[in-house]
Chain A
């Protein structure tokens, strides 16, 4: 592929690359591949320890599936608003892009609020971080995911502010796409967690 081929529709003419692909996007995909190993380790640890309660309450005993189902649905729908934000920015519709970015951040905020509520209710029911190996593994896994979502919200709000300042245009829509890839990744990690940790019976 020639260098000219990488001159983007969005005007990334300053980013001609030897591969003909955006190195930023490629780097994000490599990063996401490495994140699979991080979450794979955390999920595996939980699966190994999920029945080790040391005679105390297990996380599976206090799961609130209806509540977590709503949280999962909220995060899933935030992926839709994220992709609609990218679509709008790519078309040069700054205001629509801002609206969808803000909607995505709000949905992420609702998810995090739900997770905080879930954690506090678990602690009230006797399942804290150091209660047993199962609870440690559970809080570590879901806590790491929550941190990822929170970082995603920070990135989304940064894009929102940049858009308000007129710095987020059709020309740099790839920035929205990079953040979007990260956001969709935390969504698919939760798709995995919701099924494997919450829905599949413990024994």
Chain B
């Protein structure tokens, strides 16, 4: 999804009633149009459908690719919500760093914990 999805294209600015030109946050960063948000939601819905499909689908043999595929789709959904809906893509990088610090710390600490229980306990 490119930056052109933002309201630089006013014709894509409104899924429903009312105008939806770009708006700005406190630091003056432009946020996407409503139409861009709808497009992101459609992508999220499609990925979710694909995730659920892997659970029911019995023809294709996902084999060892199943878990990495599910984790990849989860990360894509996580990234899309954080960057577009939570505006990390458009806001100050400091906000993202604060969140990433907690996220990396959590993933690191708990991966170590799980590894310890798996191999040493």
**A interface vs B, CB < 8 Å?**
5-6, 8-10, 12, 15, 19-22, 25-26, 29-30, 32-37, 39-41, 43-44, 47-48, 65-66, 69, 72-73, 76-77, 79-80, 82-84, 87-88, 90-91, 93, 96, 174, 177, 180-181, 184-185, 187-188, 191-192, 194-196, 199-201
Interface residues in B, total, Cβ within 8 A: 59
B46-83 toward A: CB 8 Å interface, digit per residue (1/0)? 00100110111000000000110011011001100110
> CB-CB < 8 A to A88: which residues of B?
18
Asked whether B18 lies within 8 Å of A77 as measured between CB atoms, the reply is no
Asked whether B106 lies within 8 Å of A37 as measured between CB atoms, the reply is yes
B80 to chain A, nearest CB (A): 9
Known: A33-B103, A76-B44, A195-B51. A25 touches B81 (CB 8 A): no
Known: A72-B48, A73-B45. A191 touches B81 (CB 8 A): yes
B17-31 toward A: CB 8 Å interface, digit per residue (1/0)? 111110111111001
Q: Report whether over half of chain B's contact residues are helix, strand or loop; otherwise say mixed.
A: helix
A35 to chain B, nearest CB (A): 7
Q: Report whether over half of chain A's contact residues are helix, strand or loop; otherwise say mixed.
A: helix
Asked whether B74 lies within 8 Å of A44 as measured between CB atoms, the reply is no
A185 to B67, CA, bound (A): 23
> CB-CB < 8 A to B74: which residues of A?
191-192, 194-196
